[in-house]
Amino acid sequence: MVQAIANTELTLVDRRQKDYHLAGLIQLDPITSRGRSQVSDQGKRGFLALEDGTVYEGVSIGADGEKDGEVVFNTSLTGYQEILTDPSYRGQIVTMTYPMIGNVGINRQDCESSKSHVAGFIVRESSRVSSNYRSEESLSHYLIQQSIVAIAHIDTRALVRRIRDRGAQRGILSTIDFDHDSLVAKARKSPGLVGRDLVREVVPEAVREWTETLHDLANTSASPAAESGFHVVCLDYGMKWNIARHLANQGNRVTILPGTASADEVLALDPDGVFLSNGPGDPEPLDYAQQTIRGVLGKKPVFGICLGHQLLSLASGAKTFKLKFGHRGANQPVLQCGTGRVEITSQNHGFAVEESSLPDCLEITHRNLNDNTIAGVRHKQLPAFSVQYHPEASAGPHDSAYLFDTFQRMMHQHSQR
């Protein structure tokens, strides 16, 4: 049964468009009294349909078209540009819970990859003014240029409650199909994330040497560290650029390999440490990545983040499972089990390591305080550790940046053998 949620929101949209008309931002259509924007195409209808039959109607703020994906939400107040360009969001339609998005515009320096990776984008309200000295273009212009289907003016609180109650759902965003039954049928036929290898869609095509360090605004020290003499090889499963910046900021030589590389290819570069990056989707189908990790464990120090954490755990004998609605936001509390200290962290994942399957060789080092799931592990015999969250932040708090120092010390200790 299709449940349309539109009447209340259309009333709110009509009221807001009349306010914009009085402010000179749009012209009202003389027949429908609906707004025609002089700033962007914010009067065009857009729909979100979920597999449970719910349909939301709003207005388009991005490209025309239709895109399916898993509908998720992110609770961050800032960092929408980093979210849009994070490859971990491949295959997902992201809903922002903060009500006003786009107020600081878009700039090239805050990108986390070369393009946007989200399947679609949903906000309560898109700012029509970009007010920041670093802004180079508006959010709406960027979404159109990146061919991202996006809508605004839906009740995001109701949508998020539905996801929290029923779990992340397959959905479809459309500005070209207005038939509710058709949209719901398409949502139900979409592939979802479980069992798919999305990493192959985002891995780099070639090996890359990385030299860029942290931006002045993000660098907590006076300057990047002196050359450490260490060579870090990153297995890129969809790595955020700020991770590479952190590793380079430690004075390391950083080489980025596609996440499909073999253990022999990694070891041939003679690294002092191996980094396992974040990335999209379900970790269990990635047999090639698990095999590579097994091939370097014990030979080189290993540090994993997010998907890299899950892959290290799988390679060590654990299993993973899909979370009901995932952890996505820059305000996720994590407990350090050894010290009792609490970190506020940036997170983005829909899968987690299953505690009951954890092998004896792995020790839990961190826990998510929202649901007590595993947020970090350490290998008891080998120089390897990982966390489920993002110590590089971007955007987010810097509480966990110490983990890059931990990796440096591990490489130093290993080099002394």
Q: Residue 228: what pLDDT? A: 79
pLDDT for the residue 4:
57
Catalytic residue at 390?
yes
pLDDT band at 227 (very low <50, low <70, confident <90, very high): confident
pLDDT single digits (tens) 9-55? 444 444 444 444 443 443 433 433 433 333 344 469 999 999 999 99
DSSP-assigned states of every residue in 201-222: GTS-SS-EEE-----TTT--SS
- What pLDDT shows up at residue 19? 44
**pLDDT of res. 224:** 67
Which listed residue (57, 82, 125, 392) is catalytic?
Answer: 392
Instruction: State both tokens at 19.
Output: 């306010």
What digits encode the pLDDT tens for the residues 117-143?
999 999 999 998 888 999 999 999 999
Q: Summarize the confidence of residues 82-108 as an average pLDDT.
A: 96
Distance CA 94, CA 138 (A): 18
Residue 215 confidence (pLDDT): 83
Q: For residue 388, give the nearest of 342, 341, 326 by alpha carbon.
A: 326
229-273, pLDDT tens digit by residue? 999 999 999 999 999 999 999 999 999 999 999 999 999 999 999
Mean pLDDT across 171-177: 98
CATH number of 199-415: 3.40.50.880
Amino acid identity for residue 287 in this structure: D
φ, ψ at 172 (rounded to 5°): -145, 135
Cite the DSSP H helix spans in 180-339: 180-189, 241-249, 263-267, 287-296, 307-315
Q: Which of 111, 306, 349, 379 is catalytic?
A: 306
CB 29 within 8 A of CB 55: no
User: Is pLDDT above 70 for 174?
Assistant: yes
Give the whole-angstrom CA distance, residue 150 versus residue 171: 13
pLDDT of residue 9: 42
Query: pLDDT category, 7, cuts 50, 70, 90?
Result: very low
The domain segmentation of the chain, as residue ranges, is 3-189, 199-415
pLDDT value, residue 26: 39
Give me the CATH topology for the region 3-189. Glucose Oxidase; domain 1 (3.50.30)
Return d(Cα 24, Cα 398) in angstroms, integer: 42
Task: Indicate if 392 belongs to the active site.
Answer: yes
The number of C-alpha atoms within 13 Å of 53 and in the hemisphere containing its C-beta is 3
Q: Which long-range contacts (CB under 8 A, 24 or more apart) does 215-224 make?
A: 215/109, 215/245, 218/242, 218/245, 218/393, 218/394, 219/249, 220/398, 220/401, 221/249, 224/248, 224/249, 224/250, 224/251
| Residue 80: strand, helix, or coil | helix
Residues 6+ apart with CB under 8 A from 50: 71, 162, 169, 170, 171, 184, 187
Q: What value does the mean pLDDT take over residues 301-328?
A: 98
Q: 381-409: per-residue pLDDT in tens? A: 999 999 999 999 888 899 999 999 999 99
Q: Are 255 and 208 in contact (CB under 8 A)?
A: yes
pLDDT at 173 over 60: yes
